[in-house]
Amino acid sequence: MRGLIGKKIGMTRVFDSGGRAIPVTVLEVGPCYVTQVKTIENDGYDSVQIGYLESKSKHVNKPMAGHFLKNNVKPTKVLVEFQKVPKFDYKPGQVFNVTLFNEGDLISVSGKSKGHGFSGTVKKYNFSTQRKTHGQGDTYRHVGSIGNASDPSRVFPGKKMPGRYGNKTVSVKSLEVIKINEHKNQLLVKGSVPGSTNGIVVITR
């Protein structure tokens, strides 16, 4: 398997042999279940679909309930597809957990960043504020000039403006696995990971 699904537990720190503090993010990874094996003959492409977080049948809509019943697997809340590892025999119901990774591995983690709603440019892009002197009124945190009036008489596409901030899929690459706790299915990853506590993340080798 090329990756697994998990959730972000939070951040803490560990100490290495030299006594240096290492900031780490705790991720609960798996167990994940193979829910479907896609083939070129049936689906037009090769991939393996895995599920995370078991769910009750009453909490799944009818199309998804039929999907899980067809493959004879338990319903899950989250589904993600990964590329197949060549020559590995995938079967519905197989279980993959944190033992897929080793200490020292470099992984990529994708998750949905925290949503901040409609935000101004000072918060969104770290713009400087305007002066507090010389008759400055209520425009202290305003964006300022966004272009010339006479020519080109328009705002260019891509101009940094106030708007929605966050709530987008973000990927962080080459994070080092510092420690593995097999009993709790937890990975301790060096550095920060996008998303809020208990947010769903996809971990890829």
CA distances (Å), origin 168, targets 110, 113, 160, 195: 10, 5, 17, 9
Mean pLDDT for 121-126 is 95
Under the banding of pLDDT at 50, 70 and 90, the label for residue 137 is confident
Evaluate whether 175 touches 191 at the Cβ level (below 8 Å). yes
Residue 109 sits in the same domain as residue 132: no
Task: Say how many domains are in the chain.
Answer: 2
Residue 77 sits in the same domain as residue 103: yes
Residue corresponding to tokens 């679909």: 49
Residue 65 sits in the same domain as residue 146: no
Give tens-digit pLDDT for 167-180. 999 999 999 999 99
Residue 133 sits in the same domain as residue 58: no
Tell me: pLDDT of 147 over 80.
yes
Residue 36 sits in the same domain as residue 91: yes
Mean pLDDT for 111-124 is 95
Residue 161 sits in the same domain as residue 186: no
pLDDT of residue 138: 81
Residue 11 sits in the same domain as residue 96: yes
Residue 57 sits in the same domain as residue 87: yes
Residue 90 sits in the same domain as residue 38: yes
Tell me: pLDDT of 62 over 80.
yes
Give the residue, 143 or 133, on which the prediction is more confident.
143
Residue 65 sits in the same domain as residue 134: no
pTM of the model: 0.84
Give tens-digit pLDDT for 76-114. 999 999 999 988 899 998 999 999 999 999 999 999 999
Among 87, 92, 89, smallest CA distance to 79 is for 92
- For 127, the domain range is 121-165
pLDDT, averaged across the chain: 92
Cα 52 versus chain centre, distance? 14
Mean pLDDT for 26-36 is 93
